[in-house]
């Protein structure tokens, strides 16, 4: 296993990080089996584990907490906050009120006194970033977290956050966690260069393109739209949708390339995500031991320039063949009123 320094934090982490979203009700509900997968990852040299409060409504954090008993000091532990936890108002977002409340719940579920990397899971337009940075800075000073970062933030939001931190004397985001794969390379345009400029660590998620690079979904096969990811996200997998045609064509060419290398498509995908110089660690999210073992094979693969040139021909740099983050939409796109004539003009018409 290779290791890299997480931005300028001085913390060394494995180039591949164990993502635990699939441990719990939405993936593997067997706590003992999930624990065995976590232990196998640690035994393979992974020292970086990423979870979130909202994964299976806290169950993932509970599983991780049990699995790390006796091994906590050897692990760089990351979790996240933002998405709603339960019914009612003020039970989500990036406010000081919620962050201070939810970090205590995460510490309890994880059975630890500190979190190495506490991440803001998504932007929150209702909360001033100064409010968020101030709360996170206080948690560092209190020793409850060691560093903090963000996840799936636009490049412009990172620039604003760094500007606010500098002018208000606050600690700053040390990491960013964006989606990144061969089929979703949009972050190469501005996000990754911005992270490099500010010395931020980058841990990427979804190297298998939400399942599209597993090799299960191929143009020549009948895609079962009634089960698995295809049933949950038909807009991504339905071969009848024109927007999926480019993805299926790219997968065919990538599968051929992987075969020429004597590798599987997932191995190629996992290796690619760790190649960009701005990327510190690639999150892999297995549900089973067998999936972990398959993904770890990609962790030991280094792609040469000829292979990377061929990938660039199949999916040009900076190109997104699908919308990588379907869990969040900026209000500027989600709210039609944000991109139409001013409210006063609409009221008068």
What is d(CA 110, CA 304) in angstroms, rounded to the nearest whole number? 40
Active site residue 55: yes
Cα-based angle 273, 209, 68 (whole degrees, multiple of 5)? 70
Contact 217, 254 (CB under 8 A): no
What is d(CA 63, CA 18) in angstroms, rounded to the nearest whole number? 13
Straight-line distance from the first to the last Cα atom of the chain, in angstroms, rounded to the nearest whole number: 64
What is d(CA 210, CA 233) in angstroms, rounded to the nearest whole number? 9
Q: Which of 3, 55, 118, 322 is catalytic?
A: 55
Rounded to the nearest 5 percent, the helix, strand and coil shares of the chain are 45, 15, 40
Among all chains, which residue has been given the structure tokens 């018409």? 349
Q: How far is CA 281 from CA 11, 131, 269, 300, in A?
A: 12, 28, 14, 13
Residue 173 CB contacts under 8 Å (≥ 6 apart), including other chains: 120, 133, 148, 149, 150, 153, 158, 161, 162, 165, 200
Q: How far is CA 285 from CA 20, 41, 162, 204, 322, in A?
A: 6, 11, 30, 11, 20
What is d(CA 179, CA 249) in angstroms, rounded to the nearest whole number? 21
Q: Is 6 left (phi over 0), alpha (psi -120 to 50) or beta?
A: beta
Strands 145-151 and 175-177: parallel
Catalytic residues: 55
């Amino acid at each position: 296993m290779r290791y890299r320094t997480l931005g300028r934090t001085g913390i060394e982490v494995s180039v591949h990080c164990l993502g635990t979203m699939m441990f719990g009700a939405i993936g593997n509900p067997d706590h003992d089996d999930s624990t065995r997968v976590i232990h196998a990852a640690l035994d393979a040299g992974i020292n970086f584990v990423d979870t979130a409060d909202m994964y299976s409504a806290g169950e993932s954090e509970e599983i991780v907490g049990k699995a790390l008993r006796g091994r906590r000091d050897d692990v760089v532990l990351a979790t996240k906050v933002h998405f709603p936890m339960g019914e009612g108002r003020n039970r989500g977002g990036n406010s000081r009120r919620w962050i201070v409340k939810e970090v205590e719940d995460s510490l309890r579920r994880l059975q630890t006194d500190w979190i190495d990397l506490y991440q803001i899971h998504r932007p929150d337009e209702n909360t001033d970033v100064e409010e968020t940075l101030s709360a996170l800075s206080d948690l560092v000073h209190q020793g409850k977290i060691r560093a903090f970062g963000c996840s799936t933030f636009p490049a412009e939001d990172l620039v604003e956050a760094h500007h606010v931190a500098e002018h208000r004397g606050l600690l700053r985001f040390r990491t960013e966690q964006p989606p990144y794969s061969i089929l979703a390379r949009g972050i190469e345009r501005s996000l990754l260069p911005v992270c490099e400029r500010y010395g931020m660590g980058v841990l990427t998620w979804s190297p298998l393109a939400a399942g599209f690079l597993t090799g299960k979904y191929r143009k020549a096969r009948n895609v079962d739209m009634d089960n698995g990811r295809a049933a949950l996200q038909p807009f991504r997998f339905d071969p009848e949708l024109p927007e999926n045609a480019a993805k299926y064509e790219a997968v065919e060419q990538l599968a051929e390339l992987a075969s020429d290398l004597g590798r599987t498509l997932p191995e190629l995908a996992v290796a690619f995500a760790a190649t960009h110089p701005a990327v510190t660690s690639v999150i892999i999210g297995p549900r089973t031991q067998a999936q972990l073992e398959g993904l770890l094979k990609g962790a030991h693969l280094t792609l040469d320039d000829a292979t990377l040139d061929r990938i660039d021909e199949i999916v040009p740099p900076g190109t997104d063949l699908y919308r990588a983050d379907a869990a969040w939409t900026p209000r500027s796109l989600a709210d039609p009123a944000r991109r139409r004539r001013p409210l006063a003009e609409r009221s008068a018409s």
